[in-house]
A and B are shown apart, each in its own frame.
Chain A
Amino acid sequence: MTLLSQRREVGEFKKRYKWMALVVLLIFGVLGVRAVLLQIVDHEHYAAIARENITKTIVLPATRGIIRDTTGRLIASNEPVYNVYVTPQLIRPETDLDRISELMALDEEQRSSFEERLQKVPPSRRTHQIEMFSGIAREQLAALETHARELPGVDVVAVPMRTYAYGSLGAHAVGYLNEVSAEDLERLAEQGYVAGDRVGRTGLESAWESYLRGRRGYRRVLVDARGSLAEDLETEVGGDQPMRRDPVPGRDISLTLDMELMRTIERAFRGHPSGAAVVVDVRTGRVRALYSKPAYDLNELSGRLTDSRYAELEDNPFRPLIDKTLYESYFPGSTFKPMAAIAALQDSVVDPSARVNCPGFLQIGRDRKRCSTAHGDVDMRRAIVQSCNVYFWTTAMAVGLERLNRFGHDFGFGQRTGIGINSEASGFLPSRAWYTEHFGRFRVGYTLDAAIGQGNTRTTLLQLAMAYAAIANGGTIFVPQLVERVSSPDGEVIEEFGPRVRRRVSVDRQHLAYVVDGLYGVVNDPSGTAYDARIAGGVPVAGKTGTAQVARRAPRPGEDPNRAWYFNRDHAWFAGFAPAGAPQVAIVVLVEHGGGGGRYAAPVAMQILQEYLSAQEGTSATTGTGPVLARTGGQ
């Protein structure tokens, strides 16, 4: 042992060991106290978090209410699709990813995007079900269902998916759904929307969202240490939220729309790329058709619409995204002339039998305003029938802008009709004050323009239809009605809506009858502007053609210059009602850039009315001669 060094004195250290032992004891004491605090004092708090960590919330989706037309045809309904929900917390990355990819036959790309999405889920949401795949194929469904027990973190849920039986027909009025965005959620979170929910975006789907939506339910379950459901633990969860809430299905709504009529309109519009039509029941204000062309397929818009496809819709020069029945407003053109006539008759400004000579133009100072042709001597009826501008200019000077506007307002122009969808336009009746403000001073020419529906007067198709309905029904302005009834999913009627009268116009019946007689002549007198479009032996129609001038438009950059002529062509109008003797429906047809109203819009309207009314069974008034009102009215 001499090789080894000598023992050295250890006295230097002696006093230190006790101090060290004391420090060690103290620090272990701190650890012990900490353990007591965590495991006894705060045990309940941490136990609750640990339970919450392994609580799985299973979504019980609510079925959205069904939308039917007036005869009960399905417009919007739900078809089951199978979605795969994944609870990230319960996925074992080493084994489960392979198994899922195998069962679902995912390719490399799908698998890596699945993994990526799984990783992106923040820790706080890892115990929630996250939608990973939607609308999986039947084989995938079968494979996952068969091996459901191996994969506690994977759930296949049958989710109702919105489908629209009519595709693009009536698209603007019915509307579509899509997923709530982050901004929506800030606004809608209070109403219980969560990411991934779909919300009505346009049309009735949006306006009646609260009825259609229903309320989602959920079921909360605990999983044990190995990830399988621990049913016996269910009662232990406690906490603030109940364990289960049943979903409440949305309410069904039945519309006033008639989808067969919509199909008829679609057929009648063949050959016209762009336009719109409205059909309203004159006795109730129920809207039978709201048709805007071109439209888009609701199934596509409610699904996963690509940005490029949406851009395509936005760039389409025929503006498919615009609801032309009520979101867009137009110059009414000659369809507005009956308003001038009514104003003149009611306030006895003009004797309707007095004749005005039309040489084909009206000279106002240095300005020569042109009429469509030289009509010769015309009274009011002939002026309506032949759509003589000179007569109405002359009349307008006597009527004045204020009186014209007063009757215009009475018939609902310049105000929203209150249909309640698609932020409808209010149209516009320019006043004297408005002209002074915008054009510096008022000119008499403005009044003349207003009387023939040009200048600055604007209307929507729906407004015009409601006004013509009032002319046909003896002066009642209805609130246009789209929803007839709300019912529960098992068919029980919950709410039924009757016609709502907005007001009765202050016009005597005989004056209305006089105008109606004129409108009858438009279609049925050989000199009438829509005579060529009438269907001989068919349903008698009364109405007015119109041709609205269009602001000249320079070709857009990159646009085919050969197409520019089309967009500079006038809009063609027809507004009227049928059967003329006992009116049932009012109709307004607008063929955008169609040209003359009598030539292009009237035939469309005739075809629609003919097919629709002859299909209506049990209606006695489908045939007949002149208008009833006209006969009783003094002529």
Chain B
Amino acid sequence: MAALVRGLRDQFDWPLFVSAAAIAVIGVVNLYSATSASGARSDIYIQQIYWLTLGAGVAVLVAAVDYRHFERHGWVAYGVGIVLLLLVFLLGKSIRGSTRWITFGDFTLQPSELMKICIIIALAKYLHNDPKTEGRTLKDLVIPGLILAVPMSLILLQPDLGTAMICACIFGTIMMLTKLKLRSLFTLAAAFVLSAPLTWTYLLKEYQRDRLTAFLHPEQDLLDTGWHAHQSLVAIGSGGIWGKGFMQGTQNQHRFLPDQHSDFPFAVWAEEQGMVGVALMLGLYLFVIIWALKIASQAKDRFGAVTAVGVAALLFWHSVINIGMVMGLLPVVGVTLPLFSYGGSSVLTVMIGVGLLMNVSMRRFHF
């Protein structure tokens, strides 16, 4: 027993824990300021604490079980994820024209968030059991492609372009881990380029096209979408080096920022804490992602490595797309900032991801 505790202490990934916890704590503090001005939502930070606590519990469970059990039951996890996605169509709750949520009493769950983890595990299991040393051809991509395509189509049907896109990005990152024949890569690239106009016309909704045009021509549209994106830049830029101080961000307090709690909390942070705060947060995210890659590189088997890379990809794409959007580098899409944005399913997903990382990290000493 003592040995186990000692083992746990020695094997416990403190840097991962500390950096993830720091992001979560700062996130809650920032949510407090971000929602203080908007009456009805001002207790959101408390709910976020509940979600984080729940997430921490789940993360501990996830970290405690040897991840090879996940490998073994990988298809079950994937299957459960798909069933939940299907349930959305039966029991789903519609908000602003898209159906993404299932409610259990007071509880609202967004299965597409959890599906990201399921995709990572399923891909990890597949790659684990399909070792190849020579380059992969398109034919070898059929099964991983299907693993992505089934849930992604369901998510697109909700419709939830942002989440679908993140899933595709995670998939792409994981597949970059494997060797791909150059020819296959070019074929995929060509297919992507050719499908872009079709996506524009048939897949994107009117408001999504508007957002993209607003992003490309900000001067044409200083109302609505373009206006909010612009005000986000004003918030960040006016923060300067040292920021305006906690609860002192005027852009935040006077509600120039849209969705301060879900999509734009980073703008609130940048306004109130300035360049210093931005550097701190960018540093924390960068550290966690690089650390996750390090965990992957030290993993003892392919499942662990792919899982760690998948979680790293999840964290990377979420943070880069969200911060890029807030800073006006990318169009406005509803992608959350891990552990910083408010949202139960998002918090839960990231915490499971952190638990998986911890798991892989701790299991590197075995055998």
**Judging by beta carbons under 8 Å apart, are A43 and B223 in contact?**
no
**Judging by beta carbons under 8 Å apart, are A54 and B320 in contact?**
no
Alpha-carbon separation in the docked complex, A20 to B274 (Å) = 29
Tell me how far the C-beta of A391 lies from the nearest C-beta in chain B, rounded to whole angstroms. Answer: 78
Chain A contributes a number of interface residues (CB within 8 A of B) equal to 52
The A-B contact count (CB < 8 A) is: 170
Alpha-carbon separation in the docked complex, A474 to B297 (Å) = 117
CB of A4 closer than 8 Å to a CB of B: yes
Residues on B with beta carbons closer than 8 Å to the beta carbon of A225: 244, 247-250, 252-254
**Judging by beta carbons under 8 Å apart, are B39 and A4 in contact?**
no
**Contact flag A5-B131 (CB < 8 Å), given A34-B327, A35-B279:** no
B293-323 vs A, CB cutoff 8 Å, 1 = contact: the mask equals 1101101111101100100100010001001
Residues on A with beta carbons closer than 8 Å to the beta carbon of B300: 7, 10
How big is chain B's contact interface, by range?
35 or more
Tell me how far the C-beta of A408 lies from the nearest C-beta in chain B, rounded to whole angstroms. Answer: 63
Residue in A3, A40, A227 whose beta carbon sits within 8 Å of that of B254 in the complex: A227
- From 229 to 274 in chain B, residues with beta carbon under 8 angstroms from any chain A beta carbon are 231, 233-241, 244, 247-254, 256, 270, 274
**Judging by beta carbons under 8 Å apart, are B38 and A8 in contact?**
no
**Judging by beta carbons under 8 Å apart, are A24 and B286 in contact?**
yes
CB of B285 closer than 8 Å to a CB of A: yes
Tell me how far the C-beta of B127 lies from the nearest C-beta in chain A, rounded to whole angstroms. Answer: 9
Residue in B40, B178, B282 whose beta carbon sits within 8 Å of that of A32 in the complex: B282
CB of B79 closer than 8 Å to a CB of A: no
**Judging by beta carbons under 8 Å apart, are B329 and A30 in contact?**
yes
Residues on A with beta carbons closer than 8 Å to the beta carbon of B129: 5, 8
Secondary structure call for the B interface: helix
A211-248 vs B, CB cutoff 8 Å, 1 = contact: the mask equals 00000000000011111000000000000000000000
- From 1 to 31 in chain A, residues with beta carbon under 8 angstroms from any chain B beta carbon are 1, 3-5, 7-14, 16-17, 20-21, 24-25, 27-28, 30-31
Residue of A8, A42, A53, A223 most packed against chain B (CB within 10 A)? A8
Residue of B227, B254, B309 most packed against chain A (CB within 10 A)? B254
Q: Which partner residue on chain A sits nearest B313 by CB separation?
A: A20
B319-343 vs A, CB cutoff 8 Å, 1 = contact: the mask equals 0100110011100000000000000
**Contact flag A35-B234 (CB < 8 Å), given A4-B68, A8-B302, A89-B254:** no
CB of B208 closer than 8 Å to a CB of A: no
Residue in B176, B222, B223 whose beta carbon sits within 8 Å of that of A16 in the complex: B176
Alpha-carbon separation in the docked complex, A27 to B316 (Å) = 10
Alpha-carbon separation in the docked complex, A225 to B245 (Å) = 10
**Contact flag A20-B238 (CB < 8 Å), given A13-B296, A94-B40:** no
**Judging by beta carbons under 8 Å apart, are B329 and A35 in contact?**
no
**Judging by beta carbons under 8 Å apart, are A4 and B299 in contact?**
no
**Judging by beta carbons under 8 Å apart, are B176 and A47 in contact?**
no
Residues on B with beta carbons closer than 8 Å to the beta carbon of A1: 68
Alpha-carbon separation in the docked complex, A30 to B235 (Å) = 19
CB of A90 closer than 8 Å to a CB of B: yes
Residues on A with beta carbons closer than 8 Å to the beta carbon of B275: 35-36, 39-40
Residue in B178, B250, B327 whose beta carbon sits within 8 Å of that of A50 in the complex: B250
**Judging by beta carbons under 8 Å apart, are A47 and B254 in contact?**
no
CB of B113 closer than 8 Å to a CB of A: no
8 closest residue pairs by CB, A with B: A46-B237, A94-B39, A50-B238, A4-B68, A225-B253, A8-B302, A7-B301, A38-B237
Hey, which bits of chain A sit against chain B, CB under 8 A?
1, 3-5, 7-14, 16-17, 20-21, 24-25, 27-28, 30-32, 34-36, 38-40, 42-43, 45-47, 49-51, 53-54, 89-90, 92, 94-95, 122-124, 223-227
What are 13 inter-chain pairs, A to B, with CB distance below 8 A? Answer: A8-B129, A9-B302, A10-B299, A13-B302, A17-B297, A28-B285, A30-B329, A35-B278, A39-B278, A46-B235, A49-B238, A50-B234, A50-B250
Known: A27-B320, A49-B234, A89-B254. 7 other contacts (CB 8 A): A5-B129, A11-B133, A38-B236, A47-B237, A54-B250, A92-B39, A225-B248
